[in-house]
A and B are shown apart, each in its own frame.
Chain A
Amino acid sequence: MIEALRTAARLEARASQLEAERIQVREQTDRLVTLVEQTEARRARALARLQALGLEPSGLPLPAPESPQAPAAGGAR
């Protein structure tokens, strides 16, 4: 009986630990999603600039639309 209670407590602690780890990885993933969106927006702006300069054919598919959180072109120098 005591052994069963000990086992239950140990397994519950392990389950909670795994759930916390999953939440942490999820948060990391969410942050990375935002970063990828911003980078793709930067890539799209750079490509559009190259197309405007005539250095890339304009028929290339443009990446995803610009994220509202994306920083200004070229960084804030």
Chain B
Amino acid sequence: MKYSSLGLLLALTLAGCSRHVPPKSLADADGVAASQAAVQARELAPQASGVAAQLLEQAHVLEREGESAEAGVLAEESIAAYEEAFALTRAARADARIEQSEQALGAEKVRLTELEAAQVRAAREADAFELRARVALDKEPVVDVETLTPERARVRRQAAIQLASEAHLLCVSAVLLGRQGDGLTRAQADLAALERDLGVGSAQADVYPRAAQARTACLTELTLTRRPRAQAAPDAAGSDRLLTDLAATGAVFAFRDDRGVVVNLRAPTEREGELTEGARAIVELLARTSKQHPAYPLLVVGHSATAADAKSAEAAAQAIAKALAEYGAPAKAVEAVGPKQPVVDPRVPGAGGHNARVEVIFITVGR
């Protein structure tokens, strides 16, 4: 009895050993062949995928013929072939992304070029319209000078002082862009005579028309300096780029006027005349921007709230010019105009905080 049980056990064990077990690699290869990656590979890398499928098919044939060891080897080769097909699928997908991106980039660049041209056109037209309107307003005759009341005379004189001061900065801008010639010499001589008269003249003399003419003459000189450069490079949108670059910093508010692109610094110095930390950071940023746009000379202008603060406004302008030079972007000129160009009526409470300022101006070249 004991011996017959052992015999049965042995027979069962032998039967178990002789049962055919397919190699594990064949099942693994089947799994790989059924994966999502293999589906994509059939589409994007059909040749490599076909080789892998063929190897797997041969492995199954061998397995059915009882050649398990050879079937296992072929299944391993099939898995390797699938891995290669997957790599080629990645490459094909990246190729498609490249093609798509190149098309989109090309279209985007075309749009950018069109927009740049549209910006140049619109800016040129806007400049021309604004200039015509300004010239027309400047030429308007004063028909009622005889009826000037003392208050009106005072206001007109104030406006003349401001216009003369603006004229001075416009002529300085023209000089900084290299303007020379009789027209500029005349404009500067007329302006100097006007400034003398404004210094000593009585409040009754109406100098407003002369001041308006002086401003127009200096603006004309500046425009004539820019015109050949704008004509030589009509598509150059440099000052737009400068304005955009400054706006993109988020640290300063820049705007454009007749002289160029302007950034204002308010209360830039401490009691000892040293730049505040905030002002120094802005000056460093402006110097960096100036180095990126070297064609635009820098003009620094100090404005005070009252005649009494004129010296400290000039000192603040000098401190900023010194810092600009330290950061590698020296200003071409430093001017101080005292309280002649207020941005807010000085009689308004708190106006001083707005009027006392230092302007850093990038004199624009083209337009």
Contacts and interface: CB of A to CB of B under 8 A. Distances in A.
Contact of A25 (B94, B95, B97, B112): B112
B73 interface: no
Contacts of B104: 22
B51 to A, nearest CB: 12
Contacts of A19: 97, 101
A39 B248 contact: no
A33 B175 CA distance: 34
Contacts of B129: 43, 46-47, 49-50, 56
Q: Which of B87, B111, B343 has the largest number of chain A CB atoms within 10 A? A: B87
The B interface is mostly helix, strand or loop, or mixed, namely helix
Interface in A25-69: 25-26, 28-29, 31-33, 35-36, 39-40, 42-43, 46-47, 49-50, 53, 55-56, 63
A46 B256 CA distance: 15
B133 A50 contact: yes
Contacts of A74: 130, 257
Given A21-B105, A71-B255, A75-B256, A55 B119 contact: no
Contacts of A29: 108, 111-112, 115
A40 B137 CA distance: 22
A11 B98 contact: yes
Contacts of A47: 129
Interface stretch (B120-128, B176-184, B193-201, B309-317): B120-128
A32 B265 CA distance: 26
Contacts of B243: 35
B235 interface: no
B84 interface: yes
A1 B257 contact: no
B87 A76 contact: no
A33 B91 contact: no
B101 A22 contact: yes
B115 A33 contact: yes
A10 B46 CA distance: 21
A32 B94 contact: no
B84 A40 contact: no
A19 B109 CA distance: 13
Contact of A18 (B101, B116, B130, B343): B101
Contacts of B83: 1
A10 B102 CA distance: 16
Given A1-B80, A15-B101, A25-B108, A43 B122 contact: yes
A4 B94 CA distance: 12
B88 A8 contact: yes
Contact of B109 (A1, A25, A40): A25
Contacts of B190: none
B322 interface: no
Given A18-B105, A19-B101, A53 B115 contact: no
A35 B112 CA distance: 12
A71 B243 CA distance: 13
Contact of A42 (B95, B126, B132): B126
B14 interface: no
A76 B255 CA distance: 7
Given A4-B87, A12-B94, A25-B109, A35 B240 contact: yes
5 contacts: A11-B95, A12-B94, A36-B122, A46-B133, A49-B133
Interface of B: 80, 83-84, 87-88, 90-91, 94-95, 97-98, 101-102, 104-105, 108-109, 111-112, 115-116, 118-119, 122-123, 125-126, 129-130, 132-133, 136-137, 240, 243-244, 248, 255-257, 262, 341, 343
Given A35-B240, A43-B122, A46-B133, 5 more contacts: A19-B97, A22-B105, A33-B115, A43-B126, A77-B257
